[in-house]
Amino acid sequence: MKKRLLSLMMCLVLAGGVMSGCSPKTTGADAADTVKEAEAPKAADAEQTETAASDEPVTITIFQNMPEYTDAINAYIEEYKKVKPNVTINLEITQSDYPTMLKAKINSGEIPDVFATTAGGEIEAYAEYSYDLSNEPLAAAMTDAVKVNMSYDGKVYGFPIKSNTFGMIYNKELFEKAGITAPPKTLSELEAACEKLVAIGVKPFTTGYKEWWVQKHVFQHFFDAAQPDDVGGLVKEFIAGKAKFADYPTINDNFFKFVDLAVKYGDDKPLETDLSAEIAAFATGKAAMICGQGPWVEADILKINPSAQIGFTGYPVSENPADCVIIAGADQALRINKDSKVLKEVVELYNWLYTSDYGKKWFSEVAQVIPPIKDAPIPNLQIPTAMQEILKTEKAGDLYINYSLDSFHQKFGEIIQSYIAKAYTKEQAIKEIEAVWPQLGVAQ
Amino acid sequence: MQLGQKNKMKLENLSFVGPCLILVGIMVYLPFVMSMYYSMTKWNGIAKEPIFIGFQNFINLFTGDQNFVRSILFTAKYSILFIVVVNIISLLLAVALVKKLKTANILRAIFFIPYIMSMIIVGFIWRFIFSQGFASLQAMTDWGIFKLSWLGDTKLAFYSIIIVSIWQAVGFYMVIYIAGLQAIPDDVLEAATVDGAGGSYRFFHVVLPLLGPSITTCIFMSLTNSIKVFDIILALTGGGPGGTTYSVTLDIYREAFQNNNYGLGAAKSLVLFVIVLALTTFVLHIFKKKEVEM
Amino acid sequence: MKKTKIGLILLEMILIVAAAIFIYPVFLMVINSLKPFAEVVTDVIALPKKIEFQNYAYVTEKINFVRLFFNNLTITTIGLAGIILFSSMGAYILSRRNTKFTRMAYMFCIIPMLIPFQTIMITLLKVAKTFHLSDSLWGLGIQYWGFGIPMAVFIYNGFIKTIPREIDESATIDGASTLTIFFRIIFPLLKPVTATVAVLDVMWIWNDFLLPMLMVNSRPQTKTLTLAAYTFVGQYNTNWHYAMTAMVMAVVPSILFFIVMQKHIIKGVVAGAVKG
């Protein structure tokens, strides 16, 4: 198992190497640039401020999602004013219906200079609007895993503002109180743990099953275990309509077992529990485990309960403890409009964010996210620290969600909701998933 | 002279009516014709050029796409229930609130307030009530109805949407019925009372027939509004749980903007137009007939 | 006699209780907008421990309430002015002159009432871009002209027919031009029906969601109150206290408008509905 993962990582590293530039020369030059930038940021700053006076005032429009980082993004914008006073940045952040609005803008011809998409499939769908960043310093600064998530056809078309990780979040204190010494790694261990939690009067799970995206986050752990060597390849098989659930027991049986378990030991109204209800139930100690979330919930949990002891682990997906892994990578990308009138300034801005001293600190200290770049510290938060700890000894799983479009993931979430609502049997649910994957999995 | 007069008339016609024609033409007819074109293309809304595919979208719509048929059924079920219930409740309220009550004016205002709020906000308020408020109410009262999963159960979610829609609209229909009731001359009612007609007899045989125009209006309005239901569902359930609460309009929205099938979305929207057109003509036809009979 | 009096009191009591339950959700929205986050999460129905307006201060700054309010005002004013001017002028000719042209033009104007907005929303984006109407308050206001005219023409047309023709005929003999007759004589007579159109359109444009979302949602400078509340709830999904505050702020102008204009609104609704 470990060997397999190792070879996967090798592949990723190799792919990253290939993608970062056509020839080793360019890669070398990029690396040198990065070092130079990193070593002499002050000199660069001074230089830029000198030229700034004569620079024409320009306005950059950023239109992105992930409002939870609004304050952090405003902080780097503020800081960038000191570097380039002639640059005005218009920031628009929205979450609900972001894709609708982005398409409205594209169709009305008012494409923002910077916009956001998901990583993976959408990297391709929006490639004709995106600037190729392959030879920019920011591409060289990315970690290899992130670079793979941002690339299509060997070119880097995006960059994330955070690296992400997925796994199961649990309450350490409650686990201890219930006498659970180590987080469960197999499905039967999970069930035993649930029983112990019930015995001390705690609800084992809060599921968030009202949110369709919770399902894709959980499901990817099961899917990764189905064929860990080539997750993307297996997704392609499903999109081509060739693969069948029945051949892969972790998704055919274990995933549904897990859903049943989480419903049985979970919220009274599973399909009504949304993200905020989930956070509230977990933070107030009513529930011991959260489904389908990641590091982004930590701040909100601590807001309700500042002394929460948060644990982080992979999902038990089978009876083999080695299958229980966390997943790491980047699932969201920012893109630069290749027809932007201020293209040079935009690229400069993000090269700065990725390579300057301030930028390196920004990820862990200001935004408090896992940096998508090499040689930057991990933020001092419980989930990222736990992730770092785990990745010292284990390999992370592949980011399954990147291989299909969100239109599929949303339908997938709805189908599983129907299963939870008992409107579908397991067989009906699987049949429909197999049917919609070819329709919605890739851009047509 | 004669000719000049005629030309002047024509010029006046154009200058008075022209702005209306141009504006309606650009805002409604032009996009409508374009929708017809896009409904025959395969286009994801992102790529620069759509591909022409003839009537394939319409064929897919009724053969390959269960979602659309399901959303039509949902909208039909919703419309029927909404029209019946909202009219009954608002009529009852109107009958009660035309009586000489001290608080009648305040009460009317209270029932009307939800109607002046944006439907999106109404949806959000109720999402908050269902998901957060009911938990607290349950803790306080321990009543079974608060324990039910109003937005999470596929059957209940449908009724939740109905309840919220009625809550939002009932004041509007009530006001129309009140106006209708006030237009009934007092002596007609008195005459019926003198004749010894009891309360309920009087209501069904004297008041209700006289309310004919108001009832026509209310049924017609509730029909056109319920077919187009969109905002409330978007804010309340977003089509969930399990995609069971998609109305036709929400399905079109999802097809075009979330699933990236502009072409198919345009095809669906044309089918919706045909449905609305057929229904309205049918209903208007029936009412015209009735009015003649009266 | 006594019996009916007791009956009335009983009825009134029942109605008061019903109204209290009916309005309770709005009450909950208001009290939760006054609570800090922890109180909202732990108990929704409890009254706030102390009344604080810091949520309001926060949201006012975040969504730039004053600006949004004026955005709404701008859009509504532009939309309303155009709808009233063009529809009343158009309907005047359409109802007074009976020619092939006017009959066709009348049908052309009112048929769009049957076209659901969702049928055209996808392609409207392209049209709006071509005419430079997207992404601006003015542009959005102008788009409302096109969507508001059909119903307004319909209502005006019905009303103008009830005005005796002798009025404009005598003015014509006095030598007044059609334009003068319309603005000096007819338009003032249309006051009650103009009020109806105004009330219906203000409530529609002020609260509209889908069209502004497609047209002006991209920049904070052009958002509307409903949009801001919608995106705010989306953004601060987990922070119900701020979400409630944003919603109260979006709703308060409508409620104040209602209280001030109550009589006109109810009259307008009735008139509009009966005519429509």
Q: ipTM, 2 decimals? A: 0.88
**pLDDT above 80 (res A261):** yes
Q: Does A58 touch chain C (CB under 8 A)?
A: no
Best residue in A268, A272, A407 for a mutation probing chain B (most B CBs within 10 Å): A272
Same domain, yes or no, for C114 and C36?
Answer: no
Decide if B126 and C25 are in contact by the 8 Å CB cutoff: yes
Same domain, yes or no, for A120 and A56?
Answer: yes
Same domain, yes or no, for A11 and A119?
Answer: yes
In degrees and rounded to multiples of 5, residue A284 shows phi and psi of -85, 5
Kindly tell me the sign of the dihedral angle through the C-alpha atoms of A62, A67, A71, A76. Answer: negative
Q: What is the pLDDT of residue A52?
A: 39
| Average pLDDT, integer, range B190-210 | 76
Decide if A421 and B154 are in contact by the 8 Å CB cutoff: yes
**What are residue A89's DSSP bridge partners?**
A60
Residue B144 makes CB contacts below 8 A (sequence gap 6+) with: none
What digits encode the pLDDT tens for the residues B115-136? Answer: 989 898 999 899 889 888 888 8
Report d(CA A73, CA C106) in Å as an integer: 54
CA of A14 to nearest chain C CA: how many angstroms apart? 38
Burial letters B68-88, b for 16+ CB under 10 A, else e: beebbebbeebbebbbebbbe
pLDDT band at A168 (very low <50, low <70, confident <90, very high): very high
Report d(CA A197, CA B254) in Å as an integer: 41
* Nearest Cβ partner for B240 among A417, A419, A424: A417
For position A99, which CATH number holds?
3.40.190.10
Nearest CA in chain B to A441: B259
Q: Write the CA distances from B50 to B15, B42, B43, integer angstroms.
A: 38, 6, 5
Q: Does A32 touch chain C (CB under 8 A)?
A: no
Report d(CA B59, CA A197) in Å as an integer: 54
Same domain, yes or no, for C168 and C51?
Answer: no
**pLDDT above 50 (res C50):** yes
| Average pLDDT, integer, range B24-39 | 93
**pLDDT above 60 (res A417):** yes
Q: What is the pLDDT of residue A1?
A: 43
pLDDT band at C244 (very low <50, low <70, confident <90, very high): confident
Same domain, yes or no, for A69 and A212?
Answer: no
Same domain, yes or no, for A233 and A205?
Answer: yes
Domains in chain A: how many in total? 2
Q: What share of chain B is helix, strand, coil (3-state, %, to 5)?
A: 80, 0, 20
Q: Does A71 touch chain C (CB under 8 A)?
A: no
Decide if C233 and B124 are in contact by the 8 Å CB cutoff: yes
Q: Which residues of A touch C219 (CB under 8 A)?
A: 90, 92
Same domain, yes or no, for A211 and A117?
Answer: no
Report d(CA C93, CA B12) in Å as an integer: 8
Query: Which chains have at least 3 CB atom pairs separated by less than 8 Å from chain A?
Result: B, C
**pLDDT above 50 (res C98):** yes
* Among candidate residues C15, C36, C55, the one where a domain is terminated: C55
Least confident of A317-321, B29-33, C6-10: C6-10
Decide if C102 and B270 are in contact by the 8 Å CB cutoff: no
Contact B288, A129 (CB under 8 A): no
Residues 205-244 in C contacting A (C-alpha not used; CB under 8 Å): 213-215, 217-220, 230-231, 233-240
Residues 42-71 in B contacting A (C-alpha not used; CB under 8 Å): 42, 44-48
Domains in chain C: how many in total? 2
Place of tokens 């938060």: A381
Q: What is the pLDDT of residue A49?
A: 39
Helices B212-227 and C240-275 cross at an angle (nearest 10°) of 140
Q: What is the pLDDT of residue C238?
A: 62
* Nearest Cβ partner for B46 among A106, A270, A415: A106
What digits encode the pLDDT tens for the residues C28-47? Answer: 999 999 988 778 877 888 88
Residue A176 lies in a domain: yes
**What are residue B41's DSSP bridge partners?**
B52
Residue A94 lies in a domain: yes
CB atoms < 10 A from the CB of A284, how many? Answer: 15
**pLDDT above 60 (res A44):** no
CA of B263 to nearest chain C CA: how many angstroms apart? 10
Same domain, yes or no, for C183 and C205?
Answer: yes
| Mean confidence (pLDDT) of chain A | 84
**pLDDT above 80 (res C85):** yes
Same domain, yes or no, for C261 and C163?
Answer: yes
Q: What is the DSSP letter of C99?
A: S
Q: What is the pLDDT of residue A39?
A: 40
Residue A82 lies in a domain: yes
Q: Which residues of C touch A300 (CB under 8 A)?
A: 238
Same domain, yes or no, for C227 and C256?
Answer: yes
CA B7 to chain centre: 44
Q: What is the pLDDT of residue A48?
A: 42
* Nearest Cβ partner for A275 among C125, C218, C238: C238
* Nearest Cβ partner for B26 among C92, C127, C258: C127
Nearest CA in chain B to A411: B243
Residues 218-257 in B contacting A (C-alpha not used; CB under 8 Å): 239-244, 253, 257
SS3 of C112, please? helix
* Nearest Cβ partner for B176 among C115, C244, C273: C273
- For residue A443, give both structure tokens: 């851009």
Least confident of A240-244, B105-109, C233-237, C257-261: C233-237
Q: Does A70 touch chain C (CB under 8 A)?
A: yes
**pLDDT above 80 (res B61):** yes
Same domain, yes or no, for A117 and A181?
Answer: no
Same domain, yes or no, for C20 and C80?
Answer: no
Residue A180 lies in a domain: yes
Best residue in A100, A271, A432 for a mutation probing chain B (most B CBs within 10 Å): A271
Residue A398 lies in a domain: no
Q: What is the pLDDT of residue A308?
A: 92
Same domain, yes or no, for A215 and A232?
Answer: yes
Residue C60 lies in a domain: no
Same domain, yes or no, for A265 and A117?
Answer: no
Least confident of A5-9, A119-123, C224-228: A5-9
Residue A387 lies in a domain: no
Best residue in B35, B70, B257, B261 for a mutation probing chain A (most A CBs within 10 Å): B257
Q: Which residues of C touch A275 (CB under 8 A)?
A: 237-238
Contact A73, C212 (CB under 8 A): no
Same domain, yes or no, for A247 and A351?
Answer: no
| Average pLDDT, integer, range C195-222 | 86
Same domain, yes or no, for C83 and C184?
Answer: yes
Nearest CA in chain B to A275: B131
Same domain, yes or no, for A130 and A88?
Answer: yes
CA of A180 to nearest chain C CA: how many angstroms apart? 28
What structural domains does chain B harbor?
A: 2-38 (no CATH), 66-293 (1.10.3720.10)
Same domain, yes or no, for C123 and C175?
Answer: yes
Decide if B273 and C114 are in contact by the 8 Å CB cutoff: yes
For position C151, which CATH number holds?
1.10.3720.10
| Mean confidence (pLDDT) of chain B | 87
Same domain, yes or no, for C34 and C143?
Answer: no
Residue B127 makes CB contacts below 8 A (sequence gap 6+) with: B151, B235, B236
Contact C124, C246 (CB under 8 A): no
CA of A76 to nearest chain B CA: how many angstroms apart? 30
Same domain, yes or no, for A237 and A302?
Answer: yes
* Nearest Cβ partner for C8 among B13, B99, B265: B99
CA A307 to chain centre: 26
What digits encode the pLDDT tens for the residues A105-130? Answer: 787 677 899 999 988 778 888 888 99
Residue B278 makes CB contacts below 8 A (sequence gap 6+) with: none
Same domain, yes or no, for A22 and A40?
Answer: yes
Query: Which chains have at least 3 CB atom pairs separated by less than 8 Å from chain C?
Result: A, B
pLDDT band at B292 (very low <50, low <70, confident <90, very high): low
CA atoms within 13 A on the CB side of A193: 25
Range of C50's domain? 2-55
CB pairs under 8 A between A and C: 67
Decide if B243 and A417 are in contact by the 8 Å CB cutoff: yes
* Nearest Cβ partner for A304 among C38, C126, C233: C38
Best CA proximity match to A406, nearest among A256, A211, A259, A245: A211
Residue B226 makes CB contacts below 8 A (sequence gap 6+) with: B75, B78, B79, B82, B83, B165
Decide if A99 and B130 are in contact by the 8 Å CB cutoff: no
Residue C105 lies in a domain: yes
- Type of residue numbered B268: K
Place of tokens 């419903």: A263
Nearest CA in chain C to A108: C129
Same domain, yes or no, for C106 and C170?
Answer: yes
Same domain, yes or no, for C172 and C255?
Answer: yes
Residue C225 lies in a domain: yes
Same domain, yes or no, for C30 and C122?
Answer: no
Decide if A67 and C238 are in contact by the 8 Å CB cutoff: no
Q: Which residues of B touch A444 (CB under 8 A)?
A: 42, 44, 260-261
Nearest CA in chain B to C225: B118
Range of A310's domain? 168-325+404-440
Decide if C229 and B124 are in contact by the 8 Å CB cutoff: yes
Decide if C25 and B227 are in contact by the 8 Å CB cutoff: no
